[in-house]
Amino acid sequence: MYSKKYPKLFSKGKIGQVEIRNRIVMSPMGTGHCGPDSRVTQELIDFYAERAKGGVGMIITETNYQSEVDATPFTFGMARLDHPNKIARQAELVDMVKYYGAVPCIQLSIGMGRQSDAPRLVQPVAPSPIPAINDPDVICRELTKEEIKKMVSNIATSAEYAVTCGYPVAEIHGHAGYLIDQFMSPDTNKRTDEYGGDLEGRLRIVREIREEIKKRVGNALAVSFRISVDQKFSGFRTLEEGIEICKMLESFGYDAINVDAGRYESIDWIFPPEYLGVACMADLAHAIKANVNVPVIAVGNYNYPDVAEESLNNNDADFIALGRSLLADPEWANKARFGREDEIRACIRCNEKCIMNVLIGKELTCSVNPECGRESRFRLLKAKAEKPRRVTVVGGGPAGMEAAIVASERGHKVTLLEQRDELGGQLNYADLEPFKWCVSDYNRYLKKQVALKGIDVKLNTKADVETIRPPNRMQSSWPPAQMYMFLRLLKMQV
């Protein structure tokens, strides 16, 4: 039965003419799950389908780059919708997301510019000859006006392919200091032609992109724009300029604005850690919503359904975007909808298996959800065991609790032994600092799951042969060392 606690969060919304079943949006995140030819893989389809199945309203895919001019040939594992040979797999992704009731939105980018991954291998391009951020000794090559027009044409072509795939919404990536953002920022755009100078000149490429997409596909595609309205770094964009830019975006015909903050020089705002607090950019979204009439999407540590509901009621935004929270628990929306908030697996904001993995060339996954990004491969681990057994897990820390939970889900009768008077292990110390609230959330989640699974927990119990031996069973003649190895092997097979 549906919960009535979050009426605004689970009300329908619109972007352009596209109706969305609720106000929960999945943020775009690089995954590294595309093939070496930048085609969508089955893993990536399964990854997005799991979040759609979990109840979110709209899913914004990771950035799809261009193939010409942008000098990003080393973004291995990143998506591109730059050729008809990419349509088939993208269309499959669209179909699966729609099948589970969510709206698929493709994010499009003209490239990384000065943030190129390998600036010494291929000279990056930029609006002006400025240092590459990953190697300041490399000076970017200034784009010609002809190249800029080619990039505008390229991204509009991608929009045409997106319509063919079945995407009803696209988002233009103008955030985080990537190439479009470089055009918009005076410290990286020092041009003296029509693509530089005042704010109107610096946003010329943004206007031309919207006009060209409109020319190519008409109203077949609603178009959002993701922007850092406050770059949170001295000398960079402030909220005051961000407000003026968003007013211009609305005048250009963008159908929604995805409000974000930061740049790679202020990277903690791009991937906000726990010490920035919950709803840490709500004030920015609120300021933009007060100045535009198109829908506003808010982001930034919206871990809790009640915080998202409050933000919507405060007119901070029209939609709430979740990123890492949906990696930790793809069922976040469904659990909130059915009144099971205390069963949401908490993201601990470690930024290790999600952000760091992708930055060093690995695939995205999650420290607290190993199925993330491996949905089709790891799901079998929770299949019911053919022969349920009695399983004893020694140690009630996070690893022990998770082992007990998985064993119980597989149908085993589980006993969890903990020599102290409380479950949690090192988590009980790791969450002592108030800013480690997300670790506390994860600790509570594990304890809640242990209780829900009916696991027999024995606190203040030291594991030895006597406590582990099944009841009503003849005393084993095995030496303690052999008994220990047997139990270890049994645990490994769970």
Q: What is the pLDDT of residues 47-88, one digit of tens each?
A: 999 999 999 999 999 999 886 666 455 555 689 999 999 999
Task: Judge if 196 and 238 occupy the same domain.
Answer: yes
pLDDT at residue 475 above 70?
A: no
In this prediction, residue 384 carries a pLDDT of 87
pLDDT at residue 150 above 60?
A: yes
List the CATH number of the domain containing 413: 3.40.50.720
Please indicate whether residue 480 or residue 152 has the higher confidence score (pLDDT): 152
CA dist 251 and 155 (Å) reads 20
In this prediction, residue 457 carries a pLDDT of 97
Task: Judge if 194 and 173 occupy the same domain.
Answer: yes
Q: Is residue 1 part of a domain?
A: no
Contact 233, 265 (CB under 8 A): yes
Q: Is residue 4 part of a domain?
A: no
Task: Judge if 22 and 147 occupy the same domain.
Answer: yes
Task: Judge if 104 and 155 occupy the same domain.
Answer: yes
Under the banding of pLDDT at 50, 70 and 90, the label for residue 494 is very low
Q: How many domains does the chain have?
A: 2
**What is the bridge-based pairing of β-strands 222-230 and 125-126?**
unpaired
**Closest of 163, 181, 164 to residue 172, by C-alpha:** 181
Task: Among 313, 347, 378, identify where a domain stops.
Answer: 378
pLDDT at residue 482 above 60?
A: no
Return mean pLDDT, the chain.
Answer: 92
Task: Among 329, 354, 378, identify where a domain stops.
Answer: 378
Task: Judge if 328 and 388 occupy the same domain.
Answer: no
**What is the bridge-based pairing of β-strands 24-26 and 58-65?**
parallel
Give per-residue pLDDT as tens, 225-247. Answer: 999 999 999 999 999 999 999 99
Task: Judge if 264 and 397 occupy the same domain.
Answer: no
Which of 178, 195, 302, 442 is labelled catalytic?
Answer: 178
| Backbone φ, ψ for residue 59 (5° rounding) | -115, 120
Task: Judge if 353 and 394 occupy the same domain.
Answer: no
Task: Among 378, 404, 426, identify where a domain stops.
Answer: 378
Decide if 178 is catalytic.
yes
CA dist 122 and 70 (Å) reads 10
Task: Judge if 294 and 419 occupy the same domain.
Answer: no
In this prediction, residue 472 carries a pLDDT of 63
300 residue type, one letter:
G
Q: What is the DSSP code (8-state) at residue 54?
A: T
Q: Mean pLDDT lowest for which of 56-65, 251-260, 459-468?
A: 459-468
Report percent pLDDT > 90 for the chain: 83
Helix (H) or strand (E) holding 269: none
Under the banding of pLDDT at 50, 70 and 90, the label for residue 379 is confident
Give per-residue pLDDT as tens, 311-340. Answer: 999 999 999 999 999 999 999 999 999 999
Domain that holds residue 345: 13-378
Task: Judge if 368 and 432 occupy the same domain.
Answer: no
Task: Judge if 372 and 466 occupy the same domain.
Answer: no
pLDDT at residue 110 above 90?
A: yes
Contact 158, 165 (CB under 8 A): no
Alpha helices in 102-261 (DSSP H): 145-165, 179-184, 199-202, 204-217, 239-252
**What is the bridge-based pairing of β-strands 135-139 and 141-142?**
unpaired
pLDDT at residue 476 above 60?
A: no
In this prediction, residue 71 carries a pLDDT of 47
Task: Judge if 363 and 489 occupy the same domain.
Answer: no
Residue 120: CB atoms within 10 Å: 12
pLDDT at residue 493 above 90?
A: no
In this prediction, residue 448 carries a pLDDT of 97
Task: Judge if 55 and 157 occupy the same domain.
Answer: yes
Question: In angstroms, how far apart are the furthest CA atoms of the chain?
Answer: 89
pLDDT at residue 491 above 70?
A: no
List the CATH number of the domain containing 62: 3.20.20.70
